[in-house]
Amino acid sequence: MSKVFVITGASSGVGKALAVRFASEGNTICALARSRDKLESLAGQYPDTVDIYPTDVSDANQVTHSFTAILEKHGAVDVLINNAGVHKTCNFDREDIESIDRIIDVNLKGTIRNPLNHPSYQVCSVDTDRP
């Protein structure tokens, strides 16, 4: 039985690989990322199973808009994969506050502001920067 997956950061890397894997198995993928072009390319490979939602997870309004549209279209989500993230090697004592804010807004707030982060959902957060 196919499932509805929401994958943030689905335009590249691990997020894209997961989207391709689950789409190729016939699941419905709601792909979120900032890059519309990359999302459209992904959807072009799987036009029957991938829906795109250009979204910056650090923007609460964009997140709310996308998840409202997803729930209206699909009714429910089976799996949420919080994969969006910003990676920047830095020394926090020497880094500008804007860079630090961006890392926190995407990597931390982007996962906790998600309206599907609720006990009734199966949620997976991915750390792709581990050595």
Q: Where are the domains of the chain?
A: 4-125
Q: Are strands 4-8 and 28-33 parallel, antiparallel or unpaired?
A: parallel
Tokens of 115: 């309206």
- Alpha helices of 4-125 — where are they, by DSSP H? 13-24, 36-45, 60-74, 97-104, 110-112
The hierarchical CATH code for the domain 4-125 is 3.40.50.720
Give yes or no for a contact between 36 and 12, defined as CB atoms under 8 angstroms apart.
Answer: no
Residues 7-50: tens digit of each pLDDT: 999 999 999 999 999 999 999 999 999 999 999 999 999 999 99
Distance CA 116, CA 122 (A): 9
* pTM for this predicted structure: 0.80
Contact at 8 Å (CB) between 82 and 125? yes
What pLDDT digit, counting tens, does each position of 61-116 carry? 888 899 889 999 998 888 888 887 676 666 767 777 787 777 776 666 666 666 65
